[in-house]
Amino acid sequence: MEVKGKKKSISSVFFRYACFYTAGVLLLIFLQFMIWFILDVAGEVLPANHMEAWLNGAAQEIETAPEITESMLPEGCSYGVYEREGNWLYGTFPSEEIEQAWEKYKSNSIYARGRSYYRFFVRDSGEVCIVKYEIATRFRNEFLNHILPSPEVLMICSFIVLFLIHTVLMSRHFGKYMRSRLAVLSEVMAKIRNQDLEFEEEHSQLREVDEVLNSLNQMKEALKASLYRQWNLEKSREEQIAALAHDIKTPLTVIRGNAELMAEGELREEERGYNQDILKSVLMIEEYLVILNEILAEEAQEKKSEVQNQKISSAALSELFIEQGRLLTSARQYPMIISAQALHGEIRCSVSQLLRAFHNILSNAMDYSPPEGEIEVSLEMKTQAKGEYLAITVVDAGQGFTAQDLKHATEQFYQGDVSRSSKNHYGIGLHTAEKFVRGQGGYLEIENAENRGAKVSIFIRIIDF
């Protein structure tokens, strides 16, 4: 992802957003002031001294009127009329305030609670009228005064709400901008982590990010060169080992041929023993070469970037296992007993790798079974915690696993004790099988069968059932 445009520093980007943020706050303040000014000019908001000015203008009427009515007073006021001696006559004061207001009059104190004050009028009739009013802004519409807080409180609350909204929007916008500029870093690091090194040099609009990208690109080139060098060295090593293994076969063939010719002649007893040792050693070297070729083939399989998986039904895969088992056991003259339950579902896997894993397990079972020992193979569906699996189980007729075998049987080159290693095994069969099965999302389970020999099970995950 290449971002075109003039490069900026993170500090300049932050300063720009700080300016926008400050300008937005100032605009909110200006809008609040303009709204207040318009409402004030239109008379929709009454000034704080509105009640006091009203009472000043109505003072003469209050003092001379035969009776005080609420129409003489501004909205929001309460009042009380007393005799000269302090006896209550009439008014709108609540009962708990009647005595309190008269005490304020006697002490000539105009202060009530909060922003409320008392105004005292001595009427021509000798009565005393006490009016309670507030020094506070009010809406002209009395309905608004009942459902809304005072205008100044409303303006402050609305400013706080708008300020918070402005802050959230600016923060999100700034975060989105930075994420879009930093996303290229995540993409490059993900490609390097996955060893996908064939990508063009990336750029961002931020100078500091480009500096990091430049370092990552240098690291990518160095890593690519190192991987290519390592790959070439390993490839050369494998080719040399494979060529050497092939070349060894020629002198081995000559040695075997000469030793077999010598065996056909007349040899002394001691010479015949030496000749047999030569033939056995040749056989061991040939087996070592087979193992070496298997290890090279396993490494080559691991180096493939992707295993070509295919979707196959569990029933069809089981048929392949049964056919391979029949061919292997008949070739070595071992009877195979097959039990298969009803199978369902589909599997996504590398069939060749699973067949090779089954081949290794079955070969081990025959190697550790007595001649013509029965090999049991069962295929069934099993439900585990992580889902449903196709289970292929092979049970041999041998002595079974020892406690040490159960811990280390799948380790490469583990050969176990003498009783289970007497047939020239080199500890790669179960290791290879376990690796192939795990590569298909399954797992291997080894144990001893009841009243039988070793029991090895392949569990393959069902993806659709």
The CA distance from 122 to 137, in Å, is: 28
The pLDDT of residue 440 is above 80: no
Taking each continuous run of H as one helix and of E as one strand, the counts in the chain are 11, 13
Q: Which residues, at least 6 apart from 388, have a Cβ–Cβ distance to it below 8 Å?
A: 345, 381, 382, 461, 462, 465
241-273 pLDDT tens trace: 777 766 777 777 778 787 777 877 777 777 777
Separation between Cα atoms, residue 130 and residue 110, nearest integer Å: 10
- How far, in Å, CA of 8 to CA of 415, rounded? 64
Q: What is the pLDDT of residue 387?
A: 83
Q: For helices 314-331 and 351-367, what crossing angle results, to 10°?
A: 40
CA distance 388 to 237: 43
Sole residue written with tokens 């030496």: 274
In the three-class reduction of DSSP (H, G, I as helix; E, B as strand; rest coil), residue 22 is classed as helix
What's the pLDDT at 395? 93
Return mean pLDDT, the chain.
82
Question: Which of 134-138, 326-330, 410-414, 426-430 shows the lowest mean pLDDT across its residues?
Answer: 426-430
- Give the Cα separation of 295 and 241 in Å (integer): 11
Q: How far apart are CA 321 and CA 330, in angstroms?
A: 14
pLDDT tops 90 at residue 119: yes
The percent of residues in the chain predicted with pLDDT above 70, rounded, is: 88
Residues 113-142: what's their mean pLDDT?
90
Query: What is the amino acid identity at position 401?
Result: F
As a whole number, mean pLDDT of residues 396-401 equals: 88
Query: How far from the centroid of its chain's Cα atoms is residue 277's Cα?
Result: 62
Q: What is the DSSP letter of 393?
A: E
User: What burial class does residue 202 get, using C-beta atoms within 10 Å of its C-beta: 0-12 exposed, 13-18 middle, 19+ buried?
Assistant: buried
The closest alpha carbon to 460, from 447, 361, 444, 448, belongs to 444
Q: Which helix (H) or strand (E) holds 337?
A: strand 336-340
| Paired sense of beta strands 336-340 and 375-384, if any | parallel
**Average pLDDT of the segment spanning 286-292:** 69
Instruction: Compute the distance between CA of residue 65 and CA of residue 124 in angstroms, rounded to an integer.
Output: 9
Residue with tokens 């995540």: 186
Tokens of 220: 């990518």
Which pLDDT band holds residue 208 (cuts at 50, 70, 90)?
confident
Percentage of the chain surpassing pLDDT 90? 25
DSSP output for 226-267: HHHHHHHHHHHHHHHHHHHHHHHHHHHHHHHHHHHHHHHS--
Task: Specify burial of residue 346 (Cβ count, 10 A radius: 0-12, 13-18, 19+).
Answer: middle
Rounded to 5 degrees, φ, ψ at 285 are: -65, -40
Once rounded to an integer, what is the mean pLDDT over residues 453-461?
Answer: 90
* Amino acid 3: pLDDT: 46
Rounded Cα–Cα distance for residues 423 and 365 (Å) = 12
Query: What is the average pLDDT across 329-335?
Result: 84
Backbone torsions φ then ψ of 140, nearest 5 degrees = -65, -40
At 364, the amino acid letter reads N
Classified as helix, coil or strand, 192 is helix
* Alpha-carbon separation of residue 362 from 116, 287, 290, 334, 399 (angstroms): 99, 19, 18, 11, 15
- Among 73-77, 110-114, 279-283, 443-447, which stretch is predicted with the lowest mean pLDDT? 279-283
pLDDT value for 341: 87
Note if the pTM is more than 0.85: no
Q: Kindly state the DSSP code that residue 419 receives in the 8-state scheme.
A: G
Pairing verdict, β 443-448 and 336-340:
unpaired
Contact 329, 362 (CB under 8 A): yes
Distance in angstroms (rounded) separating the CA atoms of residues 399 and 393: 17
